[in-house]
Amino acid sequence: MSQGVNSFTLGVEEEFQIIDPQTFALSADVERILPRAREILGEAVQYELILSQIEVATPICRTLAEARTAMTRLRSVLIASAEQVGRRIAAAGTHPFSLWHEQPITPKDRYRALVQDFRRLIKEQVIFGCHVHVGLSDRDAALDVMNRARLWLSPLLALSANSPFSEGADTRYASFRTGLWWTSPLAGPPPFFSSRQAHDLFIQTLVTTGSVEDSSRIYWDIRLPERYETIEFRVMDVCLTIDEALMIAGLIRALVRTCYEESLRRVPVPNVPAELLRVANWRAARYGLEGELIDVCAERTMLAGELIEQFLTRLRPALEAEGDWEYISSRVAHTLGYGNGAMRQRAVFARTGSVTDVVQYIIDETARGCEMS
């Protein structure tokens, strides 16, 4: 039986940069900001790998309106807490010029273990993402949804791409974060699994062979978390604005609902090789909205805008069922017209020639729409 309207719950996690407003560089001040933010937000605000990074997570939300309220509150409190200690908060997938080897690792056992395992490759991952969870308690159905949804990762990445600069240079990627992230084992699109048993056996093999400590170390672009009855999407850069993050969350929930209903109807799902999906994601990371993407089912290229319009049309029934069509379709049209975060960052640099101006723009966009107390 199909889940009812609004029963696909949402949760959004966002990773932010901590900025020194004098130098516009990353600032290792999470220990000064997090206690202040926790006075209001509690465990919704967390440490991350480096001390110049901080993460927030919404509660379970049933509507996009609830998600907007939660995300606005989280960003507002975080920004205010940072300002109390003379720092700023910025939402971009990479910092435009700060150097990776200048970022202290957070002194927690989990992060020390990651550095012990992955050494320099993990230290170079000065990156900031957005993760969206969609609730689905039937884990067998969730696996089938993952098999189907993995075919539509590249439009999500192209729309959210927000990391064109790194270490003072234009990388010529829309999402340079993606390439840095792919140095992690088991990052990228997941394989196709014929059954839940096959999925669980693969993960058990990884654990048994010491390849991963547990399933939380599997970093696929979509995964089934052990701790939560959700499907987690991890392919996106953190978005500049709340509206963009909300657009991505709404698209993902509609994608899950669409795939779930196709699963109920036993619509055949193509077993597209993970290698082709990886190529499709690479193209989205490289060109974003400014080139051709790959329709992995039809095995052909098409303009990014055309594939995204096709994606939106596919999701329209689910978006309408959730009451989200007008908002999401207008936000997608706005993004296609005015550019994703990467395009807008580049536009600032083209006008000013200054990476510090780019950082100021990111700070301003991060705060846009937040109600400051």
Q: Note down pLDDT in tens along the chain; length 373 residues.
A: 334 433 799 999 999 999 999 999 999 999 999 999 999 999 999 999 999 999 999 999 999 999 999 999 999 999 999 999 999 999 999 999 999 999 999 999 989 988 998 999 999 999 999 999 999 999 999 999 999 999 999 999 999 999 999 999 999 999 999 999 998 888 999 999 999 999 999 999 999 998 888 777 889 999 999 888 999 999 999 999 999 999 999 999 999 999 999 999 999 999 999 999 999 999 999 999 999 999 999 999 999 999 999 999 999 999 999 999 999 999 999 999 999 999 999 999 999 999 999 999 999 999 998 864 4
What's the CATH number for 11-367? 3.30.590.20
Distance CA 251, CA 253 (A): 6
Quick count: other Cβ atoms within 10 Å of Cβ 347? Answer: 14
pTM for this prediction: 0.96
Per the listing, tokens 């939560």 go with: 228
Distance CA 220, CA 211 (A): 15
Distance CA 16, CA 29 (A): 12
Which backbone phi and psi does 326 adopt, to 5 degrees? -60, -45
Distance CA 67, CA 11 (A): 8
- Cα 240–chain centre separation: 11
Distance CA 190, CA 66 (A): 30
H-helix or E-strand containing 85? none
How is residue 319 annotated by DSSP?
H
How is residue 196 annotated by DSSP?
H
Residue 54: name the closest of 89, 96, 101, 97 by CA. Answer: 89
CA triple 181-51-38, angle to 5 deg? 110
